[in-house]
Structure 1
Amino acid sequence: MLKSGLNERNVLYRDKLLPDARKRYLEKMAMIGNLDPYEVPSRECTRDPDDLPPLTFPDIFVYLVCGVSAYTEAQFRNFKSMEAHVQFTNGWVHDLEAYKSPSCENTVVRTKVMHSQRLNEPPLKPWVIVSSAGKVECAHCTCMAGIAETCTHVGALLFKLEATVRIRGTKTVTDVPAYWVLPSNLSKIHPEVGYRINYTSSVAQRKTLDQRINMQPTAPAIRSRAQKLKTPPGNLEDLSPLLDTLLHHSKAVGLSGMEKYYAQYTQHTAAAPSSALPPCLAKSLYDESIDARDLSAVLLACEKHINAVSVTEEQAVAVEEYTRQQHLSSAWYDYRSGRITASKMHAVYATSLERPSHTVFTQVCYPHIQHTVSTVQTRWGISHEGDARKAYTESRAAYHTNFKIEPCGFIINSSFPEIGASPDGLTMCECCGKGCLEVKCPFKYRSCNIQQALDMKDKDFCLQLSSDNLQLKRHHRFYTQIQTQIFVTQSNHCDLVVWTENDFTVVRVFPDQEFWEPRLQKAQEFFKKVCLPELVAKYHSKDMQPHVPSEKEQ
């Protein structure tokens, strides 16, 4: 809140704040080298999207909902600001300006946001401070609720920043990022005839924007009324070819009530007895009576649950059978919660145990949050996994004796139950023994063949040529993922299938004990020092406010 009765001429914005708000404002300034975001000249800022911090949708959720207020020490839980996307899609948010102080790793991003009701008033000026890892450290706005740091104008800024970063991530070697799909800035509202006005709802506008960012076809915003056609009544016999097509190519639940098709909808998932299944860590360990800010109490509680992650061989088998639908099963996410999975092992090995990346521990402890985010890359991989598997099976069957691929669920190794893996299949043949399968359909190289992808010399591409043979790069995150799958499943090897529309290849990867041992040790330490305190008391997510040095420390 602002002080009243002050002569505003030559008075700094922060000096007009009440004492508590001004103290907090100075703390936020300390995060960017004691600079006031409102005093940084525009000529020293950049509007280049490549200079923006890597913000993602989970980062917005973690800040607006799970973040902690500096005033009340309670979680924000501002679900209303999660709806601020409407201000962004309507064009109320102006261009983003970013400034990174040479003395710290944080970046301040600021903009102007139009009033949604009072259009003739000067726009509001929100800003956010984001770390180099994408964590939202704090925020501010000149609106009445701005000192609370989670107003809708801050939310609208975050959504525009996330959309801009997402477009930047779809850039390829030959394509230019399509920043033009972002809503244009509105500075003044002009009258318009009714039939030219877009009456599309905010939900539909957001869906259309996501489709454009993901390079999917969209319907026109303004539609013309179609003429009514006289259609003769149909019957089930006429619809039979259509219903047969729906049965094989979609999840048409309406067919489950028809006599001809109901048998196809019988539940075939493994009904594991509840006594054989271990408890889910995220559901069984949390104790809300523990003060998350009392480290000694948290550590004492963790000692009592140090063996909660252990499973027997029977329980491990039951979990694997019960989760074979993988991402289509809620139980798959439940048993992944709190365990370091193969796909997260690379990030866990790279993060600090003392100050772990909030993105990493959030994805490990709460994988269902990431599940809510769907990108064109993930949808491409999922939709073409069957094509890659078919090509792999046909190429291997002729050269292996009694070759077969079995589906699998979430696999936990009872020797190190803190870790789990969900390969795309388990392979078996008399000549090579047990193996696992990992399929990759890289969206970035979807139109290339493997040689073209190699010629790009892109560090993100997972393969390289060595002595005229294709190899998986040892420093690539896929190598860490596959080594984890090999040791968790106790396989002799893993076949990596890299598939594009024009080509595919198979690279066999063997166990690398020297590579695996330090990562196993780091993952077990990460579980004890990071996952367990978070699962028991939400120690890390409740303590999201960064440390600001006191005057003595400075």
Structure 2
Amino acid sequence: MRLSAYARDLRGAEKRRYLEKVAQCGGVDPYDYGAGDAALDMTLLPRVEFTDIKDYLVHATSFTTREALKAYKSMEGHNYLTSGWVQEPCVKVLADGRRVVLGKHLEGKRCSQVSFASARAKKIQMDAGVETHRSRRQQKAAIEETTPEEWSMFLSMCHKSDSRPALLSLEEPYAAEFAPVALKFPKAVLTNLHKDDVPETQDAMMDHCMEVMKALVIEPEVARLVEAETKDQAKSTKWFTFRAGRITASNAKAVCRTSIPSPSMSLLNKICSPEHTQFWAPQTAWGKEHEETARQAYATASASIHLNFQCATAGLHISVEKPFLAATPDGLVTCSCCGEGVLEVKCPYNGRNGTVKELALSKSACVSLTGGKLRLRTDHSYYYQVQLQMFVTQRKYCDFVLWTPKTTQFTMSPHTDGYGGQNRYGHSSSLRLSVHRSVPRCAAIATPSFFFLVFRYPVLYADAVVVVGAWRLHGSKIASEGKTRKRDCASDETPR
């Protein structure tokens, strides 16, 4: 066995343990290697499997305490290596295939992964006598401190990115955007509707609900800020937060049709926990997939027949007059000839393969064909939906777009619905497409790739929804707890 001077000076248990290690190294003391005995080639290292790492880092024990290392010492040694304390690791391949790893470590820090018990002074002396070749490893350059201008530019770039880095929540002026919505809009978030003390009588329950309804207040400026922050709609958690506890346009018919003494539990869950009652179905997936296509087609066609036409995205609108009501139209439309309105787009799944006429003849269709005229059925949930949208947004009309991918030619005349043969702009009901004339309340637009209908309905403000819905949400929320549902609402379908 070839030993170095360092090994020959060891005594007792220290020397016995060192000799055991030298025996594993082929009987040659690593301190006795010269510069040419090892190569700076990491490809010479053997392949390490996951089980090898686990056995060494977790199951190996300390020779002094007999306790499992639990990766502490090994991770400490790894930190020394990456921090620059240990440099120039070299590999010596033994005759039997085993490898010996040598390394040079800087002074002032003991090499923890080599457990040679020795005096610090002697260790320094031995290190000085080790022959090493010239280092081929480049030293890391010092990193200059970031200037305030560079940091400000970096934060600005992060803010303009599509993601939301958590770093911005700690830096002004971006931190305000990360504030919880309940803190930014305390009156707009309905989080206190649950009551443990259920009123004993129906009259007491109704009185309590009316008190809750009258106490709800939202300032116009807050309503505008909420709408601006929820334009991403279902992609935004804020959209669900502000919807919770409110009657939205898509639930308008179900709210008016459900039983007051025994309300629909599925409806209550949908109103009070909108984020947790989402569902996927081929019908909803079809509508979401083609909604933007229909919207763009509508905007392109309308721009050619309206003066200064604009169609903007919409967030959640909360009614200032009735804060328990809310609606999210598919768009906000404006033009010089017609004023301000809302847009609602429907892409019926059952019309994906048929014509609009065939769709109108089906029993479940939202439109009916009477005397060659298409009408939106007043008993359909879509009719309730658009009426509540107009009430909440305080806009005068709704353009209802019905989209199908079939290339179809279908001619019709706009109907009057009892408006004395004239539409609400004072023009006759005949088809008028001039930009200086009003658009008919029902128009058919055909393109080479699809066909869609635009129904324009004047606002009726759906008094049943406003008056009945005023107390029905809160009354049902309290009265339904702990009771069995007798019947579901008239329609549980989710309009899309």
TM-score (normalised: structure 1): 0.45
Equivalent-residue separation in structure 2 for 1:408 and 1:395 (angstroms): 20
1:328 to 235, 243, 264: 235
Residues 448-475 of structure 1 deviation map (CA, whole Å, 9 limit, x = unaligned) = 2212323xx2121111234433221111
Matched letter for residue 348 of structure 2: P
Q: How many Å apart are 1:540 and its aligned residue? A: 2.1
Residues 341-364 of structure 1 deviation map (CA, whole Å, 9 limit, x = unaligned) = 111010111111121121222212
Matched letter for residue 392 of structure 1: Y
1:380 to 2:293 alignment: no
Q: How many Å apart are 1:312 and its aligned residue? A: 1.2
1:19-168 correspondence runs (5 A): none
Q: Tell me the equivalent position of 1:509.
A: 456
Matched letter for residue 469 of structure 2: A
Aligned residue pairs total 277
Secondary structure of the corresponding residue to residue 377 of structure 1 = helix
1:469 to 373, 398, 421: 373
Equivalent-residue separation in structure 2 for 1:512 and 1:492 (angstroms): 6
Equivalent-residue separation in structure 2 for 1:311 and 1:410 (angstroms): 14
Q: Tell me the equivalent position of 1:166.
A: none
Secondary structure of the corresponding residue to residue 464 of structure 1 = strand
Residues 60-117 of structure 1 deviation map (CA, whole Å, 9 limit, x = unaligned) = xxxxxxxxxxxxxxxxxxxxxxxxxxxxxxxxxxxxxxxxxxxxxxxxxxxxxxxxxx
> CA 1:261–1:423 in structure 2 vs 1: closer, same or farther (change >3 Å)?
same
The answer to whether the 8 Å contact 2:350/2:359 transfers is no
Q: Tell me the equivalent position of 2:192.
A: 284
The answer to whether the 8 Å contact 1:276/1:314 transfers is no
Matched letter for residue 359 of structure 1: S
The answer to whether the 8 Å contact 1:278/1:311 transfers is no
Equivalent-residue separation in structure 2 for 1:470 and 1:414 (angstroms): 34
> CA 1:545–1:400 in structure 2 vs 1: closer, same or farther (change >3 Å)?
closer
The answer to whether the 8 Å contact 1:421/1:488 transfers is yes
Q: How many Å apart are 1:332 and its aligned residue? A: 1.0
> CA 1:519–1:293 in structure 2 vs 1: closer, same or farther (change >3 Å)?
closer
Q: Tell me the equivalent position of 1:365.
A: 272
Secondary structure of the corresponding residue to residue 374 of structure 2 = strand
1:328-367 correspondence runs (5 A): 328-367=235-274
Secondary structure of the corresponding residue to residue 288 of structure 2 = helix
Q: Tell me the equivalent position of 2:480.
A: 540
> CA 1:523–1:388 in structure 2 vs 1: closer, same or farther (change >3 Å)?
same
2:398 to 488, 491, 494: 494
> CA 1:304–1:525 in structure 2 vs 1: closer, same or farther (change >3 Å)?
closer
Residues 91-149 of structure 1 deviation map (CA, whole Å, 9 limit, x = unaligned) = xxxxxxxxxxxxxxxxxxxxxxxxxxxxxxxxxxxxxxxxxxxxxxxxxxxxxxxxxxx
The answer to whether the 8 Å contact 2:206/2:475 transfers is no
Matched letter for residue 529 of structure 1: G
Equivalent-residue separation in structure 2 for 1:431 and 1:272 (angstroms): 41
Equivalent-residue separation in structure 1 for 2:207 and 2:469 (angstroms): 21
Matched letter for residue 486 of structure 1: M
The answer to whether the 8 Å contact 2:187/2:218 transfers is no
Secondary structure of the corresponding residue to residue 395 of structure 1 = helix
Matched letter for residue 448 of structure 1: G
Secondary structure of the corresponding residue to residue 510 of structure 1 = strand
The answer to whether the 8 Å contact 2:230/2:236 transfers is yes
> CA 1:530–1:483 in structure 2 vs 1: closer, same or farther (change >3 Å)?
same
Matched letter for residue 283 of structure 1: T
Residues 383-431 of structure 1 deviation map (CA, whole Å, 9 limit, x = unaligned) = 1111111111111110011111111111011111121110101001111
Percent of pairs identical after alignment?
31
> CA 1:470–1:322 in structure 2 vs 1: closer, same or farther (change >3 Å)?
same
1:527 to 467, 473, 483: 473
The answer to whether the 8 Å contact 2:397/2:456 transfers is yes
1:428 to 329, 334, 351: 334
Matched letter for residue 327 of structure 1: A
Q: Tell me the equivalent position of 2:389.
A: 485
1:319 to 226, 232, 237: 226
Q: Which moved more, 1:517-526 or 1:298-307?
A: 298-307
The answer to whether the 8 Å contact 1:272/1:318 transfers is no
> CA 1:301–1:517 in structure 2 vs 1: closer, same or farther (change >3 Å)?
closer
Equivalent-residue separation in structure 2 for 1:328 and 1:453 (angstroms): 31
* Long gaps (5+) in structure 2: 1-156, 166-173, 407-449, 488-496
Equivalent-residue separation in structure 2 for 1:425 and 1:361 (angstroms): 27
The answer to whether the 8 Å contact 2:397/2:457 transfers is yes
* Long gaps (5+) in structure 1: 1-259, 534-538, 548-554
Matched letter for residue 388 of structure 2: T
User: In angstroms, what is the RMSD of aligned CA positions?
Assistant: 3.3
The answer to whether the 8 Å contact 1:346/1:477 transfers is yes
Matched letter for residue 233 of structure 2: Q
Secondary structure of the corresponding residue to residue 448 of structure 1 = coil
Matched letter for residue 385 of structure 2: Q
Secondary structure of the corresponding residue to residue 191 of structure 2 = helix
Equivalent-residue separation in structure 2 for 1:479 and 1:437 (angstroms): 13
Equivalent-residue separation in structure 1 for 2:469 and 2:208 (angstroms): 20
TM-score (normalised: structure 2): 0.50
Residues 143-196 of structure 1 deviation map (CA, whole Å, 9 limit, x = unaligned) = xxxxxxxxxxxxxxxxxxxxxxxxxxxxxxxxxxxxxxxxxxxxxxxxxxxxxx
> CA 1:546–1:521 in structure 2 vs 1: closer, same or farther (change >3 Å)?
closer
Q: How many Å apart are 1:497 and its aligned residue? A: 1.0
Secondary structure of the corresponding residue to residue 520 of structure 1 = helix
The answer to whether the 8 Å contact 2:376/2:383 transfers is yes
> CA 1:344–1:475 in structure 2 vs 1: closer, same or farther (change >3 Å)?
same
Secondary structure of the corresponding residue to residue 458 of structure 2 = coil
Secondary structure of the corresponding residue to residue 324 of structure 1 = coil
1:265 to 2:171 alignment: no
Matched letter for residue 265 of structure 1: D
Secondary structure of the corresponding residue to residue 499 of structure 1 = strand
1:394-433 correspondence runs (5 A): 394-433=300-339
Equivalent-residue separation in structure 2 for 1:482 and 1:546 (angstroms): 29
Q: Tell me the equivalent position of 1:75.
A: none
> CA 1:501–1:305 in structure 2 vs 1: closer, same or farther (change >3 Å)?
same
> CA 1:291–1:495 in structure 2 vs 1: closer, same or farther (change >3 Å)?
same
